[in-house]
Structure formats: C-alpha cells, structure tokens
Amino acid sequence: MKKISKRKSSNFKIGVGITSVTIISFLVFAFFKVAKILKRRTGMVADYDKRNEIWEKVAGNSKNLKIEKMNVKRVGNKLFQHAKFDYAIANKKYKDAEKIIDTFTYMHEIAGGYEEETFEDEPYIIPYLASQTGAVVETSEVCASDMAVVILPGGGFGYKSMDGRNDEGKDVAIKLQKNGINAFVLHYRSNPYEYPIPQLDLQRAIKYIKYHAKDYKINPQKIVIMGFSAGGFMVGCHINKFKGNDFFPENYKLDKIDKVDDSVAAAAMIYPAVTLKHNVPMLFAMFDADEVRDKEKREKILEQYDLKKYLLRSKEVPQFIAWGTRDVMVGKKGIQDYIKEAKGIGVEVKEVIAKGQEHGFEQKYYMDDLIKWLKYL
C-alpha cells in the first residue's frame, strides 16, 4: 500500500477543514436569510391592479423563450435557492454563478408568476399619489408637495424584492405618501434581460412620469429617483453614466415619450452597490455569460461600471446615500470611496450611516433623514 506523506495528509486535513468551514458558513447564512425572507414575504406584488404600464412598444423585448437562454436546474426549494443566490453574488472573486443565478430567477420570477416565459414583460409603475391618500399627513415639514419619488426595489438583478415583499416598495411609497410626497414603485426588467435593459426601464419611467405630470399633479422638474441595493446601482448608473444618452436597440422606433428629458432633481441610494467589484459573480445576472467568463471582457465591464469614475456628470445632482457599517453584501468600502470622491469634487451629498446594520436595514435608520432632505431640495 502506498504511504501518504505527512505533508499531503496535513494538506488534506486543511482542505477538509476549509471546506467544512465554508459549508457551515453557508448553512448559517442560509438559515438567517430564509428567516428574514419568511418574515418579509407577502407572496404577491402589492397594488398590482393599480399599475401603469410605461411603454407603448417595449424596447428590447421579443417572443423568444427565456429558458433557451438560461442555465437552469429545474429542481430545488425556492427559499434555499434564494439563499444560494445571495451567498453567491456577495463575492469579490470571480465564480461561475450562472446556474445558481438563472435557477433562482426561473424559480422565483418566472415559475413564481411575476414574469413571462418569453421576453415579453411589460415594465410598470405603481403610483402612490399624495392627493389620493385619506391618511393624516404625519408631519407638516413636507406637505402638499408636487415632488415625485421613483422607487427602485433591489434584488441583485436576479429578481425584484417587490415580487413578494413590500419593504423596498410599497412600505416606502406609503411612508412618503403620508408625508405629502408622491411616489411611484418601478417594476423593471432583470435577468435574463441584459444591460442596459434595466436602465432603459428607469429612463422610460422618468420620461413617462414627466409626460403625464399634469395627470399626476406633479412638477416635472421635481422628480427624485431612489433605489435600494441593485436599485441603488441603477440610480447611480442613471445620474453618472446613462442620463441623456440614447441606448435603445437599433430596431426600436422612438415615440413621443422617448423624446422627453430624462434629468432628475436628486438621487437617493439606500445600501447601494456603486461598483460591481464587490459582487463579481452578480455579473451573470446582468451581462452575457460568455463575456463574463472572458477575463479581459469581465475586467472591462468592472471598470466601466465603477460609478465614481463618472461623478463629474452628476456634479449638479444632490445625492442621499445611506449605508450600514456591517454590510457584507455590497461592501462598505465601495460606498465610502464613492462618497469621498463625490464630496471631493463638490457634489452635494447627504450621508447617513446606519451603525451596526447589515444589508437591507429597516426604514427607521434612514427615513426621517430622507424626509428632511427632500424638504430642502
């Protein structure tokens, strides 16, 4: 029998130890993640019947089946797949997470009934107008406002949190509405749609609301965009990289709404990703898988979407940024670097630090500051 050297035996034990620690770490992460999901989930899109579809002919859609473009494992528990998805995308190192991401997207969004089997989804906004609420306004600081806030829920581009939860959608909109501020929750397209499709939906929502400003009784010059996590990334992308640019598909014919200005009065980002360098595997939810696997192309994408490089384009846009000191999902360094760079070139930034808070912290850590900030815009 061949003897195993002490060094090889030691290395084997170390390898087993590392693997065990990784498995235990994931199981602990999965337990707390599932508990949080169960606490927040509702199983439906709140006020879906009140939605306004924002496109006449949706740019970037087709009759093709999504499953033909996806790498899906068709078995498994949805909650467990959700935990695997979150665990996979929170990583600075490259990992081929296509199957994990696509499987979760398919199980949650498509099989869950929130999205179509084909690339024929209809992006929409759900309005919460201050003029329509019968509730007593909570404060006189922001009352009878003609401002509008477009809310973008997060979801790592694998799903939208408003698909089954309210904490980054309706709950935020209702709080603003009760403070006299009009709010619109945006349901945008995500995986397997590729960038810049999600940004097209945000741009279109801004233009749609401006076009219908009289109907909504809002001032088109007072539109604020607000995003959570991946939604925060979209907000940062709009003001720094995409605003004012035409990135429609070649075969798309512009309509009257497309010709409306897409500028915004301000931007709010709550525990946002402002770079993709802390979430490298998440690229599989945003871009072509073959490009992500190509190291040179992947590095190019990471550099192109490091938003602090484009801050001069958003210098005149006031920004509200709230982040948690224990956020390991998007990481705090990227946010800190972005804020430092923004302040350094004269961007008006209101920074709110949620001490001891992880990714996805509650309203109480930022909402009062947000309301006061909106008052002074």
pLDDT of res. 277: 98
Strand 319-324 versus strand 124-128 pairing type: unpaired
pLDDT of res. 8: 45
280, pLDDT greater than 80: yes
Q: Which two tokens stand for residue 69?
A: 């473009």
* pLDDT, the chain, mean: 90
> What pTM was computed for the model?
0.89
| pLDDT tens readout for residues 283-326 | 999 999 999 999 999 999 999 999 999 999 999 999 999 999 99
Cα–Cα distances in angstroms (integers) from residue 102 to residues 66, 270, 271, in the given order: 10, 26, 24
Residue 101 near residue 293, CB atoms below 8 Å: no
Percent of the chain with pLDDT over 90: 81
- Side-chain-side CA neighbours of 256 within 13 Å: the count stands at 4
Q: Which position has the token pair 């992006």?
A: 123
Work out the average pLDDT over 190-201.
Answer: 99
| pLDDT tens readout for residues 126-159 | 999 998 865 445 555 545 589 999 999 999 999 9
Angle at 192 between CA 186 and CA 198, to 5 degrees: 35
pLDDT class of 205 with cuts at 50, 70, 90: very high
pLDDT of res. 238: 99
117, pLDDT greater than 90: yes
64, pLDDT greater than 90: yes
pLDDT of res. 56: 97
Sheet with 349-354: strands ordered across: 52-53, 124-128, 182-187, 148-152, 223-228, 266-270, 319-324, 349-354
Per DSSP, the three-state class of 224 is strand
Alpha-carbon distance of 292 to 192, in angstroms, equals 14
Dump strand ranges (E) for the chain.
Answer: 52-53, 124-128, 148-152, 182-187, 223-228, 266-270, 319-324, 349-354
16, pLDDT greater than 50: no
